[in-house]
A and B are shown apart, each in its own frame.
Chain A
Amino acid sequence: MKKELITLNINGDDIEIAVLPWRTLNEVLRDQVHLTGTKLGCGTGDCGACTVLIDGQSVSSCLTLAIEVEGHQITTIEGLAPQAAEKSDLENCELHPIQESFIAKGAIQCGFCSPGMIMSSKFLLDHTPNPNEAEIRAALSGNLCRCTGYNKIVDAIADAAEKSRQLKENNLDPTTI
């Protein structure tokens, strides 16, 4: 079967790539572009481990055909931190405030769910900068975690929202959260 040559915009970079039409975005990201931060859990839209942003909307990459997202902006966990794309030295790379809050609040154990959790959090905070606990829990209903019991993740998101509020009050750049 013929591969299609398409251009995907991933974390701000245009990447030309040959894909088979039945390949999901998850497969292409992980196996062809080698961005393995995005996980594959269930493959059926139930667990949220594969969550990425397409034009700012959180979606399941396991249910998205790569061929259909040509011309759209794809953001993965690797592209979330402000300078993530430029820094090859990931160890010393600056993190996104949501990522920092996840670490500070102990919201990461094995880490498998974290990329998806963090992308869902990003979508939530983009639309609801001051979420209450119920809103946070509703926003995470499509993301499963088998380790943390969720409370620490909820705390982390509340913490990230609070940091963003303080940044705004001090007129610092709120667009990074």
Chain B
Amino acid sequence: MTLPQFKFLMPTSLREACALLEKHQGKIKIKAGGTDMIVRLSHRAVKPDFLMTVKKIPDLDGINYSPKGGLTIGALALLREVETSPLVLEHAPMLARAARATATVQIRNMGTVMGNVCNASPSADNIPTLVAMNARIVAASGSDEREIPIDEFFLGPGRSALQANEIAVAIKVPTLAAGSGVSYQKISPRSKVDIAAVNIGALVTLDETGKCRAVRISMGAVGPTPLRATQAEEFLLGKEITDATLAEAGRLAAEDASPITDVRASREYRKLMVEVLTTRALKEAAGFASGQSSIAE
């Protein structure tokens, strides 16, 4: 379908882009890869007077790493780049797995990880691992910059903590503590292309005795925003990962999930899958954490 008419803005600096956002508040939408925004325009889900691309703003691309600062994923880093980046594969391979699980090859060649995060869909592929790893979103407004902890970033379906004059410029992913492992698990009616019916990101950090020193579990598509499985996290702290503790953690995660029934899955099925995928994710993350398994991708 033909897109609705809009005035197109192509700022070439962050300052210019933030000024445009300020000036056209409420009448402007931002696009990066456009794989979500163009569809929403086409469906008339949004009808902005102005559409602003951030693709011509310098320094928003690229993926960097430093031992102290961790991984920095620029706002314009494509899903495909995150999927194949040697830095991501070395330091945060589960982010690559999540990127690879997103949509189609063509979409991954266009869309960005940041776009997937900023759309704030509860089922987004790239959010649970970032939540598990306690990432931060860097937001710029003109010359100011602030870092938003990802736990505070999602306010509701399609709603984020970004202010009207702010642009998300980078994702910072801290270096993991020694003895940590991460996992991403997803289930959807179709093995490829489809968005998740349920997805889980988990981080496990073990101490020298094999007990859980830190656990973060993020559940997608089971609430209005990605949810933390706090009961399961608290339960596991100080305990060893065994079949029994895994089973109990899975059960507690399902208790914290509040899914709905829709075309992809029923509420009951989603609850069951939270239990299964949480157990799987924790088991895999603990395997990496103890160094007993290595990532084969």
Contacts and interface: CB of A to CB of B under 8 A. Distances in A.
Interface in B19-78: 34-35, 38-39, 41-43, 51, 53, 55
B109 interface: yes
Interface string A101-138: 00000000000000000001001100000000000001
**Which range holds the interface residue count of chain B?**
20 to 34
B269 interface: no
Contacts of B8: 21-22, 65, 67
Contacts, number: 86
A51 B53 CA distance: 21
Interface stretch (A9-17, A54-62, A85-93, A168-176): A54-62
Contacts of B107: 45, 60, 63, 142
Interface residues of A, number: 31
Contact of A51 (B10, B35, B106): B106
Interface in B73-110: 80, 103-107, 109-110
B34 A64 contact: yes
Given A63-B35, A64-B110, A141-B193, A120 B2 contact: no
Contacts of B106: 45, 48, 51, 58-60, 120, 142
A63 B38 contact: yes
B34 A58 contact: no
A124 B106 CA distance: 11
Interface in B144-178: none
Contacts of B41: 22
B103 A65 contact: no
Interface string B199-215: 00000000000000000
A43 interface: yes
B173 to A, nearest CB: 25
A24 interface: yes
Contacts of A68: 10, 34, 53, 55
B79 to A, nearest CB: 12
Contact of B2 (A27, A48, A58, A64): A27
Contacts of A27: 2
B53 A1 contact: no
Contacts of A35: none
A166 interface: no
A138 B35 contact: no
**Residue of A58, A59, A64 ringed by the most chain B CB atoms within 10 A:** A59
Contacts of A46: 104, 193
A45 B109 contact: no
B237 to A, nearest CB: 38
Contacts of B39: 44-45, 63
A141 B192 contact: yes
Interface string B129-140: 000000000000
Contact of B34 (A65, A124, A142): A65
A134 to B, nearest CB: 11
Contacts of B42: 43-44
Leading 8 A-B pairs by shortest Cβ distance: A142-B104, A21-B8, A141-B192, A22-B3, A57-B109, A63-B38, A60-B106, A142-B106
Interface of A: 1, 20-24, 27, 43-46, 48, 51, 57-60, 62-65, 67-68, 120, 123-124, 138-139, 141-143
Given A22-B3, A48-B106, 17 more contacts: A1-B5, A44-B39, A45-B106, A45-B107, A46-B104, A46-B193, A57-B80, A59-B106, A59-B110, A63-B35, A64-B34, A64-B38, A65-B53, A67-B8, A68-B10, A68-B53, A123-B109
Interface of B: 1-8, 10, 34-35, 38-39, 41-43, 51, 53, 55, 80, 103-107, 109-110, 192-193
